[in-house]
Chains A and B, each alone.
Chain A
Amino acid sequence: MTIGRILIANRGEIAARIIRTCRALGIETVLAVSTADRDSVPARLADRAVCIGPGRSIDSYLKVGTIVQAALGVRADAVHPGYGFLSERAELARSCEEHGLVFIGPPASQIAAVGDKLRARAEALAADVPVVPGGPVAGVDAALQLAERIGTPLLVKAVGGGGGRGMKLVERIEDLPGALSVAAAEAGAAFGDTRLYLERFVTRGRHVEVQVLGDGRGHVVHLGERDCSVQRRYQKLIEETPAPGLSDPFRRRIHAAAVRYAERLDYRGAGTIEFLVDARSESFYFLEMNARIQVEHPITEMVTGIDLVAAQIAIAAGDGLPLTQSDVVSLGCALECRVNAEDPARDFMPSPGRVDAVHWPTGDGIRVDTHIEAGSTVPPFYDSLMAKIVAHGADRSAALGRLLRAVEDTWVLGVTTTLPLHHGILTDPEFLAGGVDTGFLPRHLDRARAPTETNRG
């Protein structure tokens, strides 16, 4: 079907990002906004904005019925959920399906399949994609036996989980029963699902994910990988593509595994398959699949020249895959810094408030995805992402040089940001050497004790 009008059920930079592509495609946009976002940049960029509720996301961006009612009320053809919020709630996709709205994402059944981590693991095994040793928890005694087999350290994870919630690290087997009850309580509160599973905790791993596009009929292409190992408590801070230091055969094995996995699901739309990678032993393990556009998608767009949001819309409209594997050619290297309104010196405490003045960088190979301008507000209700600064270059050192200069060119007055931390990482010899593991950021923070510069005037 032809999509002429899209309701965007999101906010912030991703709302602005989706509007940009819709404009290029001649598609009208209606942005669902909370009262806190009524005067935001994306509300102004959209052809129309409809207020869906008060600031707290539980009263606005997380209300499935309200979003669908808004889409029907403005006569939208389709709903784009962005990332976070309702993007991976099968309920929204299902409700759209029931009301004749195109959901720009996978079918509800696929969201449910990959959202259930145990099911996702089983699908990986069936697709001959390696998984971390582990298994489901069926009672404390069985869990203890399983834990003996897996060995410590191990992770207790929530079947319905994600984002680190409901996840517990267990160093000693005797700590397992306690960790199980805490994790089950957390998982029940956060996801309404107390089921747990165990996985060996791989201490020195890298987080590498593969971008795929599927047509829903078994055809899948990949757009290369992204290395997201610079993270703190599962929150990514810097991402890059390609992942540094992987041999080409190893890289191709990872891509092929991701494609096999998505093909097995007959996956439809844009998705990301996350792997834990040990570059030295050239081994990798399936972690999970994200059934949505990712925050870090721009680095893939920079090296491939492919507009992933446009691809999502084309696939959702039933046009099939807009490209074949041989159309995907990656050139050079791209890195992204997430500028958050957080204070690294105070354990990354959110620093919402009014942005008095701001300067975003420009230049060759620089892209900034943001919804923040002078006078914008970072509301206390949502995540603190203010902007993504992306740099592209012919190779990693060229891209790194551009990104460092771009970060130096950026200033934000009024709220404290992660910019000084980015500067520190981009000049850290360990990061510059490439191929850091997920333990890098904590090590860097220990070494640097995080620059304490604040911009609050």
Chain B
Amino acid sequence: MTLTAKDVEEITRLIEESSFDELQLEIDGMKLSLRRRGAAACEAGIAPAPAPPPEPERARPPDAPPTVTPGATDADIRAVPAPLLGTFYRAPKPGAAPFIEIGSQVTADTVIGIIEVMKLMNSVRAGESGTVVEIPAQDGALVEYGETLLRVRKPVDT
């Protein structure tokens, strides 16, 4: 038997809801290993929110983010990595509107969130311009250095 994408999604959801950090599954020579926010991230290249997004340094098979708009290629989508480890906040203060939402237009200088390290609030800028297509980082969660905070689709005409 083989695993369909739907099976993997289902398994991922079960792990997310469980208290386990890691799953290693081997079926008929196919190996699936899932890990919550681990450095040795999943070999199957699954990147479900709020599980860790793929690390930028790691060469891996093309992973299509679920919210990619039809017609867009991977080359048009840029990941915005966390510039430091800390607690990620999407809004300037609790209850306030988030800096950005899916669909927001950003430029390199747009503040897209805050990362707190030991009570120090660091503004994070997009560093890319385009349309926000995905925000994998959760508000109030620990983000690792280099973890993808959001994905931006480059403007088509530039």
Which residues of A are in contact with B by a Cβ distance under 8 Å?
A: 31, 33, 35, 38-39, 43-44, 47-54, 60, 65-66, 68-70, 73-74, 95
- Do the beta carbons of B21 and A47 come within 8 Å of each other? yes
- Do the beta carbons of A51 and B39 come within 8 Å of each other? yes
- Do the beta carbons of B85 and A66 come within 8 Å of each other? yes
Selected from B38, B58, B120, the residue in CB contact (under 8 A) with A49 is: B38
- Do the beta carbons of A50 and B39 come within 8 Å of each other? yes
Q: Nearest chain B CB to A46's CB is how many angstroms away? A: 8
A-B contact pairs, 18 of them (CB 8 A): A39-B58, A43-B39, A44-B40, A48-B36, A49-B38, A49-B40, A50-B37, A51-B55, A51-B144, A51-B145, A52-B145, A53-B84, A53-B145, A65-B117, A65-B120, A66-B85, A68-B118, A73-B87
- Do the beta carbons of B117 and A47 come within 8 Å of each other? no
Asked whether B134 is an interface residue with its Cβ less than 8 Å from the other chain, the reply is no
- Which residues of B in the span 112-145 have a Cβ within 8 Å of any Cβ on A? 116-118, 120, 142, 144-145
Greatest chain A CB density within 10 A among B35, B57, B84 is at B84
With A43-B40, A69-B117, A70-B142 given, can you name 16 additional A-B contacts, CB distance below 8 Å? Answer: A38-B39, A39-B39, A39-B40, A47-B38, A48-B39, A49-B39, A50-B37, A52-B144, A53-B145, A65-B120, A66-B84, A66-B117, A69-B86, A73-B87, A73-B142, A74-B142
- Do the beta carbons of B147 and A51 come within 8 Å of each other? yes
Q: Nearest chain B CB to A264's CB is how many angstroms away? A: 34
- List B contacts of A60 (CB < 8 A): 145
- List B contacts of A65 (CB < 8 A): 117-118, 120
Q: Mark B43-60, 1 if CB is under 8 A from A, else 0.
A: 000000000000101100
The count of chain B contact residues (Cβ–Cβ below 8 Å) is 24
Residue of B nearest to A36 (CB): B57
Q: How far is the CA of A451 from the CA of B80 in the complex (A)?
A: 50
- List B contacts of A69 (CB < 8 A): 85-87, 116-118, 142
Asked whether B146 is an interface residue with its Cβ less than 8 Å from the other chain, the reply is yes
- Do the beta carbons of B22 and A47 come within 8 Å of each other? yes
Q: How far is the CA of A39 from the CA of B58 in the complex (A)?
A: 9
- Do the beta carbons of B117 and A35 come within 8 Å of each other? no
Q: Nearest chain B CB to A187's CB is how many angstroms away? A: 28
Decide: A53 near B55, CB < 8 A? Known: A65-B120, A73-B142: no
- Do the beta carbons of A38 and B55 come within 8 Å of each other? yes
Greatest chain A CB density within 10 A among B21, B84, B118, B146 is at B118
Q: Mark B77-95, 1 if CB is under 8 A from A, else 0.
A: 0000000111100000000
- List A contacts of B39 (CB < 8 A): 31, 33, 38-39, 43, 48-51
Q: How far is the CA of A54 from the CA of B40 in the complex (A)?
A: 17
Main SS at interface, chain B: loop
Q: How far is the CA of A74 from the CA of B38 in the complex (A)?
A: 11
- List A contacts of B57 (CB < 8 A): 35, 38
- List A contacts of B38 (CB < 8 A): 47-49
- List B contacts of A54 (CB < 8 A): 145
Q: How far is the CA of A369 from the CA of B23 in the complex (A)?
A: 28
Residue of A nearest to B82 (CB): A51
Greatest chain B CB density within 10 A among A48, A54, A69 is at A69
Residue of B nearest to A50 (CB): B144
- List B contacts of A68 (CB < 8 A): 118
Residue of A nearest to B57 (CB): A35
Q: Nearest chain B CB to A68's CB is how many angstroms away? A: 6
- List A contacts of B58 (CB < 8 A): 38-39
Decide: A50 near B142, CB < 8 A? Known: A38-B39, A65-B120, A66-B117: yes
- Do the beta carbons of A35 and B85 come within 8 Å of each other? no
Residue of B nearest to A74 (CB): B142
- List B contacts of A70 (CB < 8 A): 85, 142
Q: How far is the CA of A35 from the CA of B147 in the complex (A)?
A: 11
Residue of A nearest to B147 (CB): A51
Q: How far is the CA of A35 from the CA of B38 in the complex (A)?
A: 13
- Do the beta carbons of B37 and A48 come within 8 Å of each other? yes
Q: How far is the CA of A50 from the CA of B85 in the complex (A)?
A: 9
Residue of A nearest to B36 (CB): A48
- List B contacts of A49 (CB < 8 A): 38-40
Q: How far is the CA of A49 from the CA of B35 in the complex (A)?
A: 10
